[in-house]
Structure 1
């Protein structure tokens, strides 16, 4: 049964692959190789398999090549988009830095103008006080002159009546003296009285004319003072509002910050003391109140400046850099800071005044520095290449505290920057963005 099946298969193969002979001739003899049907089938199957494998492998290689080309093109497009975003961020950073510098210059110029206006205001106020005093003196002189003029008129009237009367009356007035002597005496008295009356009248007219001039000058001075007050009040509004917005954007209470800054600078005296003008026991006049309000605004700006120096509103890296990771979840874990990628050795600057509480190696953070600032704020600077401060050292805003490196658990040279308020991490970009319009 088995042999019959084999024979049938052989006959079927012979129909498809008839037996062939391959002759090999040499100079002396001829040989042949017999190719049976089974051998031809195996050769054909092997060739078909090889051809199929070649076609499939070639197709796979072509698909991989096309796919790799697409991936490379996509990677190049992504790289171009990323570089464009980096360039845009760099331009935005430079523009913000220029705007911050311009704002700081405007703030300094405004303070200088406010100081000049304050000096002019003090000078104008002194002049106004002097003019008021002069007007009071002129008015008193005028009243005294009017009284003396009335007395002189009464005396002249009495003497005139005596001259027009008889000798008995004259004698009675003169106490029994001779009539001729009395007449001469009365004539001299009348002449003296007339001269005094004319002098008093001239003094009164002079006082009236100068009182009007002084009142006009006082009114002009008051208008000038009002214009100066308005300029100062507008300057206060323009200067205080950006600072107030900066602290509120960072989640800080401006009143608490100002109270803390005022406790640290509680001395009195100097150019920002309130005006103290004598008002004869009464309340201050409106101009004095406005002047004191402006001085209060200047004091508030000064306290804002002190508080801003002590909170980390500045950026710790000023050279060329790029943001590589922000605050929030990353790879399933919380990233408590912001990463600034830059070459090794790039300077790191303190963003605010404070005291160094840690400077050394800290596990995955590598070389790290911690700075304690006012208002319960702490900043951290990790993965440094070199630390340039010591524990207990007091630093100011803009002082160099270290260099960017690649220490600790880091995939490349960068600065890991953290801000903690009351021990709780917050997004550093809140403070950096809040300070961009001021610093």
Structure 2
């Protein structure tokens, strides 16, 4: 049956591919090789397939080269835009910080002026009370003198109309006249003192009103300063808070840990605030305390950001050649950043080197332990420039990119681990765009 099928197939193909014979002649004999139609069709089919495969492979290589060049250009453009965004955000952050510091200095100056005005107002109030007391005494004295004058006048009138001859009326009249004259002079002096006291009291009242007006104006200026400071602090804190939340970190726990290591305090303002009881604090004191607390939180955020890997480990241009995730059933625990051999690899945060060695698969590898249970891994390096146990700071040169270990080309394998478990480094890298 197979033989008959081959014969039929050869007969059908013979119209298009007639049987060919290939003669091979030697010195003493002649041989030939029969090429049946089916054999010729098989050879043509194999040749066609090989030719088509070569065309497709060449096209794919050509398209890949074109797309790789386009990707590099797009990566360069994205990197440039990212750096410009970093510069603008840094400038904006610095200007906000300068405005906050200037506003804080103005606030300190305003607090001093308020304190001086309050002291002057208290002195003016005390002086006014003293003047009122003196005026009250003068009025009592005046009433007493007027009563004595009226009594003297009545006694003089009685002597002039009802004298019984026992006392010399003329002498008594002269004495009473002298007494009345003396009392009149005293009354005039008292009236003058009363007028002077009234003028001083009026001047003190006007001065008190002027001080009260100045105090209200100063309170309004202080309120504007407080509002500006509160807005600046809120704007400055929001990107930090968003960055830590997007990275999946517990901000309360991190800030508490930072405060343990940075718990020193002091300065004139701190002493003044802490010396007051809660009942004695004014609204301005409370607002100032709230602003200082938020500024302290911003400083804590900045310290924590330096201790966590939010910065990129590379300053040179690169492209992401492989993301975090599962590949062929195995977890690729980091991201691959493709770039030539010999580029600097930098520490993205403060930490301690816990490994600097050659490891199967990773080649030359460096591992750094950061704060809060976060660690980073740098694989396939050409050189390791730090040793185990060495402390590094953010931006320190720790190694060079390479192609060691299980690698198909020069690149940096970068991992971030939380509590020893790998997480996607892009979580930190994308979160950092809110601040850096």
- Length-normalised TM-score, structure 2: 0.82
Which SS does the other structure have where 2:148 is aligned? helix
Decide which moves more: 426-435 or 149-158: 149-158
1:182 aligns with 2:179: yes
**Where do 1:359-438 residues align within 5 Å?**
359-438=356-435
1:81 aligns with 2:67: yes
Which SS does the other structure have where 2:349 is aligned? coil
Q: Verify the 8 A CA contact 1:99 1:437 in the aligned structure 2.
A: no
Q: Verify the 8 A CA contact 1:339 1:415 in the aligned structure 2.
A: yes
1:299 aligns with 2:300: no
Q: Which residue of 144, 164, 189 maps to 1:192?
A: 189
In 2 relative to 1, CA 103–280 (structure 1 residues): closer, same or farther, beyond 3 Å?
closer
- Per the TM alignment, residue 181 of structure 1 is displaced from its structure 2 partner at its CA by 4.4
| Cα distance in 1 between the residues matched to 2:229 and 2:20 | 107
Q: Verify the 8 A CA contact 2:380 2:401 in the aligned structure 1.
A: yes
| Cα distance in 2 between the residues matched to 1:43 and 1:252 | 79
* 1:250-274 Cα shifts (integer Å, max 9, x gaps): 1110000000101111212148838
In 2 relative to 1, CA 331–278 (structure 1 residues): closer, same or farther, beyond 3 Å?
closer
1:339 aligns with 2:325: no
- Per the TM alignment, residue 128 of structure 1 is displaced from its structure 2 partner at its CA by 1.5
**Where do 1:29-48 residues align within 5 Å?**
none
| Cα distance in 1 between the residues matched to 2:244 and 2:65 | 38
Q: Verify the 8 A CA contact 2:152 2:180 in the aligned structure 1.
A: no
| Cα distance in 2 between the residues matched to 1:190 and 1:91 | 97
| Cα distance in 2 between the residues matched to 1:225 and 1:404 | 55
| Cα distance in 1 between the residues matched to 2:21 and 2:394 | 86
| Cα distance in 1 between the residues matched to 2:46 and 2:416 | 53
Alignment RMSD: 3.0
Structure 1 unaligned segments of length 5 or more: list them: 1-39, 171-176
In 2 relative to 1, CA 338–104 (structure 1 residues): closer, same or farther, beyond 3 Å?
same
* 1:374-396 Cα shifts (integer Å, max 9, x gaps): 00111111111111112221111
* 1:149-202 Cα shifts (integer Å, max 9, x gaps): 2321232233233334436869xxxxxx94354344323322321221122111
In 2 relative to 1, CA 271–212 (structure 1 residues): closer, same or farther, beyond 3 Å?
closer
* 1:177-230 Cα shifts (integer Å, max 9, x gaps): 943543443233223212211221111111111222111111111111111111
Q: 1:258 maps to what in 2?
A: 255
Q: 2:89 maps to what in 1?
A: 103
- Per the TM alignment, residue 83 of structure 1 is displaced from its structure 2 partner at its CA by 3.1
Decide which moves more: 64-73 or 303-312: 64-73
| Cα distance in 1 between the residues matched to 2:69 and 2:148 | 115
Structure 2 unaligned segments of length 5 or more: list them: 1-18, 24-31, 157-173
Q: 1:158 maps to what in 2?
A: 144
Which SS does the other structure have where 2:248 is aligned? coil
| Cα distance in 2 between the residues matched to 1:251 and 1:281 | 37
In 2 relative to 1, CA 272–159 (structure 1 residues): closer, same or farther, beyond 3 Å?
closer
Q: Which residue of 303, 317, 320 maps to 1:323?
A: 320
Decide which moves more: 115-124 or 89-98: 89-98
The alignment covers a number of residue pairs equal to 394
Which SS does the other structure have where 2:215 is aligned? helix
| Cα distance in 2 between the residues matched to 1:96 and 1:120 | 36
| Cα distance in 1 between the residues matched to 2:20 and 2:78 | 75
| Cα distance in 2 between the residues matched to 1:88 and 1:377 | 32
- Per the TM alignment, residue 66 of structure 1 is displaced from its structure 2 partner at its CA by 5.2
In 2 relative to 1, CA 118–207 (structure 1 residues): closer, same or farther, beyond 3 Å?
same
Which SS does the other structure have where 1:130 is aligned? helix
| Cα distance in 2 between the residues matched to 1:67 and 1:372 | 51
**Where do 1:204-243 residues align within 5 Å?**
204-243=201-240
- Per the TM alignment, residue 64 of structure 1 is displaced from its structure 2 partner at its CA by 4.6
Q: 1:94 maps to what in 2?
A: 80
Q: Verify the 8 A CA contact 2:356 2:384 in the aligned structure 1.
A: yes
Q: 1:123 maps to what in 2?
A: 109
| Cα distance in 1 between the residues matched to 2:49 and 2:209 | 103
* 1:7-34 Cα shifts (integer Å, max 9, x gaps): xxxxxxxxxxxxxxxxxxxxxxxxxxxx
- Length-normalised TM-score, structure 1: 0.81
Decide which moves more: 290-299 or 389-398: 389-398
Which SS does the other structure have where 1:282 is aligned? helix
Which SS does the other structure have where 2:220 is aligned? helix
Decide which moves more: 314-323 or 83-92: 83-92
Q: Verify the 8 A CA contact 2:20 2:36 in the aligned structure 1.
A: no
1:139 aligns with 2:136: no
In 2 relative to 1, CA 333–215 (structure 1 residues): closer, same or farther, beyond 3 Å?
same
